[in-house]
Structure 1
């Protein structure tokens, strides 16, 4: 009549608010994800709030919808013609072709052009392959750009295979494909 005790791991669910201090929301999110992913006892997690990423994208999409609605009401052309006009305006090539810098004046133009490409990748939530050189080690990863800090020249990217957020200095990045 001895009762055998089995030691099976049981899952427990907790709702927790965590305050993380960092210079940006994206860096704080990266720190949180690293903490949660670093423990083998955490089987799964869901971040329900606190991410400030994507607010600019939401505003831009709302403005775009408003302008499309007002344009379609004002125009008398067929809906198919309107779709072609909008598609022609929105279509952007997948690979950026940036001019090579020939002098210091061109470098400033190239930087703003690169910043614009990065904003397009963020806005369109494009899947890209980022090639970087970090501490002499070449890294190539499929990712989406989450955030770009133009002042500090920092990129926050989400590695789609590893499901982790990484931060790169822009001078570490060799190529976006």
Structure 2
């Protein structure tokens, strides 16, 4: 690093859409690696970004640099802030859809139906499980199932379950 350059660290949140978490992470890493950044850190459990930590520790003083917004950005911010009540209202239908999902599992439990769950265990790992519902926790949105092939009991959050079919 030459003496005429100064280092800056920015905290950025990025939204990347892709099929799976692993694919989105791969896309992010490809973009960051192809850019000419001195260093970067992904704050999600991956051990990267040691250069950032060492420069922060060695910095004599950390001076915040303000990023000036232009008029268009201010108008966009005002529009987003005025739309905040509608965003809060949009969360309530999601809660309703989760309740409807639990209702379908309650019916399967009551009738002791054999179902097949498609569960996303993270990092793109999907598991297909033939099972019977044995317990539903409304508060935690957790479903406990009995795997009929392995004769094991598994617990899943409703958000992990991508699909289910009745056998």
Identify the structure with bigger relative contact order (alpha carbons < 8 Å, sequence gap 6+).
1
Q: TM-score range by the shorter chain?
A: 0.3 to 0.5
TM-score normalized by structure 2?
A: 0.43
